[in-house]
Chain A
Amino acid sequence: MFSIWELILQQLVNGLILGSFYALVALGYSMVYGIIKLLNFAHGDIYMTGAFVCLSVFAALGNIVSGWTGIILSILVAMLISGILGYIVQRVAYRPLLGAPRLSLLITAIGVSLVIYNTVMVMTNSQPMFFTSGLDNAAGIRIGSILITYIQLVLLAMSGVFMLALNFFIGRTMAGKAMRAIALDQDTSRLMGINVNRVIGMTFVLGSSLAAVAGGMACVYYGNVQYNMGYTIGIKAFTSAVIGGIGSIPGAMLGGILLGLLEAMGTQFLGSQWKDVFAFGLLILILIFRPNGLLGKTEIERM
């Protein structure tokens, strides 16, 4: 039998993985919101597209490379394609509307989401596609009566590496500093010589490639990919971003991990039918007591 501690450890790992998915997708939401104050509802569909690209590339690589090498290659290609898709969406649908009221931008985002969603639905005949990684699901570290698989550990490490890389990029590079500057004050950023449109484009590329990492991880972890997989994770990632403080990069990571852990624990101890109640209950509580999210900043005006 499982002891209570083993169950908690098991759910801790499950929750961390789920949380990594949320966090990777939430980062894109949060970065885009931070920089142009848009809730990019098409972001979940970019994640879904990333998963399909990863699956297709992995299948095409077939006998040439397999296992983790194939998976990582497929994820890199998915990042590239999703990044380009994110850029095109931004360039075609959002940039012409940057001067328009935010509501127009929001409606456009919903429109873009429907376009991607329906295109993939038609292309795949609404059928799920299956991803056979060929990896050993039973290999891993056994602690007492529970098993933490190598797949889980590699996926965790992978999301950790990408989040660290993003943190470095945002914190240390001039391009990252420009992103943060634009989020604070667009006109002054232009006076620094920052090409604001180019940095906005770069933000979409970054956010979309991170969503593709999550999409690729979903292929490996769940083994199937479907046109509507972006919907729920989109909402959950958005929730994570709000919990952490939308616009805040560490906030998106924290919010995602926290939500993942809570859902896993909620599933274990209250039953899986309660996990969404848990997630959105948390959202409502946060919105009541910390409307700016856990790491969101309150505006302080100083003259």
Chain B
Amino acid sequence: MSDILLQVENLETYYGKIAALKGISFEVREGQIVTLLGSNGAGKSTALKTISGLISPAAGRVIFCGEDITKLPAHEIVKRGLVHLPEGRHIFKDLTVLENLELGSYTLNDNNERKRRISWVFDRFPILESRMKQLGGTLSGGEQQMLAIGRGLMAAPKLLLMDEPSMGIAPLIVKDITEIIRRLHEDGTTILLVEQNAKMALGLADYGYVMDTGTIVLEGEGSTLINDEKVIKAYLGG
């Protein structure tokens, strides 16, 4: 088995007095796609935000590449190669496509390397190259998602946290996004994927965890979960 890249131990997060995470533990191994499933309000997004440092947890630990990053601010965590693509894409609407990409590599001080990564992203997403002078807000939903992924890749991530990449995107484009994630995986990018679209997520994932109201209630290999009766009933509309 490959090395553990991310280890989450008994993570507890509160919004005021309401517990959003009630002590969850899971791990992501190098080269894997791991998915967190669950309905609205299960705590999936909160889990990602706590890992990437946007929210600080009340208890528990986040270990990334052997380092305890629980108390680090978000901008320090990015530097270590843990990159979070937030739900809803969050493109900088009034900045150009190119500027959005550049900001993805903000922590990089080497301009040549930045240009090299931009052309690498353009190779993958030619549509972004043809729109590079356009404002991010003028792109369609699917293009914005590509920009969000491209912007994340600009940081040369060791681990990519993806929050609902299929949300609000036309069904036809969801296929493209799925294909993009599969290719990233083939290139060796490790991915922690949060999805409501369980079918898509389990089709991609090596391993999955099912969350419900702040706890992990079920886990298993993607191929096992996809045939699990409870999962089918709750998330696959069976």
- Cα A195 to Cα B86 in complex, Å, equals 18
How long is the Cα–Cα vector from A254 to B107 in the complex, in angstroms? 34
Chain A neighbourhood of B92, CB < 8 A: 180-181, 184-185, 188
Residues on A with beta carbons closer than 8 Å to the beta carbon of B231: none
Interfacial chain A residues near B90, Cβ < 8 Å: 185, 187-188, 191
A193 near B79 with CB under 8 A, answer: yes
A59 interface residue, CB < 8 Å from B? no
CB neighbours (8 Å) of B93 from chain A are 184, 300, 302
Q: Please, what's the 1-or-0 string for A183-209, where 1 marks a CB less than 8 Å from any CB in chain B?
A: 011011111111110000000000000
What chain B residues lie within 8 Å of A300 (beta carbons)? 93, 137
Distance to closest chain B CB from A84 (angstroms): 24
Contact A178 B94 (CB under 8 A): no
Partner of A187, one of B78, B79, B86, B168: B86
Interface residues contributed by chain B, number (CB under 8 Å) = 28
Asked if B52 is an interface residue, CB under 8 A from chain A, the answer is yes
Count of A interface residues, CB-CB < 8 Å: 21
- The answer to whether the Cβ of B12 comes within 8 Å of any Cβ in the partner chain is no
* A103 interfacial contact with B, CB 8 Å: no
Residue among A180, A195, A302 making CB contact with B75, cutoff 8 Å: A195
Q: Tell me the residues in window 117-140 of chain B with beta carbons closer than 8 Å to chain A beta carbons.
A: 137
- Indicate if the CB atoms of A191 and B74 lie closer than 8 Å: yes
List chain A residues, Cβ under 8 A from B99: 177, 180
Most buried by B among A189, A191, A300: A191
Nearest opposing residue in chain A for B103, CB measure:
A192
**C-alpha spacing A191/B155, complex, angstroms:** 10
Q: Is there an interface contact between A191 and B94, defined as CB atoms closer than 8 Å? A: no
Say how far B140's CB is from chain A's closest CB, in angstroms.
Answer: 9
Q: Are B95 and A174 closer than 8 Å at their CB atoms? A: no
Q: Is the CB of A187 within 8 A of B54?
A: yes
How far apart are B88's CB and chain A's nearest CB, in angstroms?
Answer: 8
Write the chain B residue with the least CB distance to A190. Answer: B74
Query: How far is the CB of B130 from the nearest CB of chain A, in Å?
Result: 19
Q: A184-B93, A188-B92, A191-B84 are in contact. Are A174 and B102 (CB under 8 A)?
A: yes
**Does chain A have a CB within 8 A of B222?**
no
Interface string of A259-303 (1 = CB under 8 A from B): 000000000000000000000000000000000000001001011
- Whether the Cβ atoms of A193 and B106 lie closer than 8 Å is yes
Residue from the list A188, A193, A303 in contact with B107, Cβ < 8 A = A193
A302 to B137, CA, bound (A): 7
Taking CB as reference atom, which chain B residue is nearest A191? Answer: B84
Q: How near does chain A come to B173, taking the closest CB pair, in angstroms?
A: 13
Residues of A near B102 (CB, < 8 A) are 174, 177
Q: Check if B60 is an interface residue, CB within 8 A of chain A.
A: no
Q: Are B141 and A180 in touch, CB under 8 angstroms?
A: no
Q: CB-CB < 8 A to A193: which residues of B?
A: 75, 78-79, 106-107, 155
Task: Give bound CA distance, A177 to B105, whole Å.
Answer: 12
Contacts of B103 in A (CB 8 A): 174, 177-178, 181, 189, 192, 194
Q: In the bound complex, what is the Cα–Cα distance between A291 and B53 (angstroms)?
A: 37
B53, B104, B168: the one within 8 Å of A192 (CB): B104
Asked whether B86 lies within 8 Å of A191 as measured between CB atoms, the reply is yes
Q: How far is the CA of A195 from the CA of B79 in the complex (A)?
A: 11
- Take A192-B104, A194-B106, A303-B168 as given contacts and tell me if A177 and B95 are in contact as well, using a CB distance cutoff of 8 Å: yes
Instruction: Name the residue on B nearest A303 (C-beta).
Output: B168
Contacts of A180 in B (CB 8 A): 92, 94-95, 99
Residues of chain A within 8 A of B192, CB atoms compared: none
Assess whether B137 is in contact with A194, with CB atoms less than 8 Å apart. Answer: no
Residue B28 at the chain A interface, CB threshold 8 Å: no
Q: Distance (Å) between the CB of B34 and the closest chain A CB?
A: 20
Q: Mark B43-54, 1 if CB is under 8 A from A, else 0.
A: 000000000111
| Complex CA–CA separation, A174 to B75 (angstroms) | 15
Query: B83: CB under 8 A from chain A?
Result: yes
- State in angstroms the CA–CA spacing of A185 and B90 once bound together: 8
Q: Are A191 and B52 in contact (CB under 8 A)?
A: yes
Given contacts A174-B106, A184-B92, A302-B93, contact A191 B83 (CB under 8 A): yes
Residues of A within 8 A of B (CB): 174, 177-178, 180-181, 184-185, 187-196, 297, 300, 302-303
Q: Which 3 A-B pairs have the closest CB atoms?
A: A193-B78, A193-B107, A190-B74
Q: Give 19 CB contacts A-B under 8 Å.
A: A174-B106, A177-B99, A177-B102, A177-B103, A180-B94, A180-B95, A180-B99, A181-B95, A187-B54, A191-B54, A191-B74, A191-B83, A192-B103, A192-B106, A193-B75, A195-B73, A195-B75, A302-B137, A303-B168
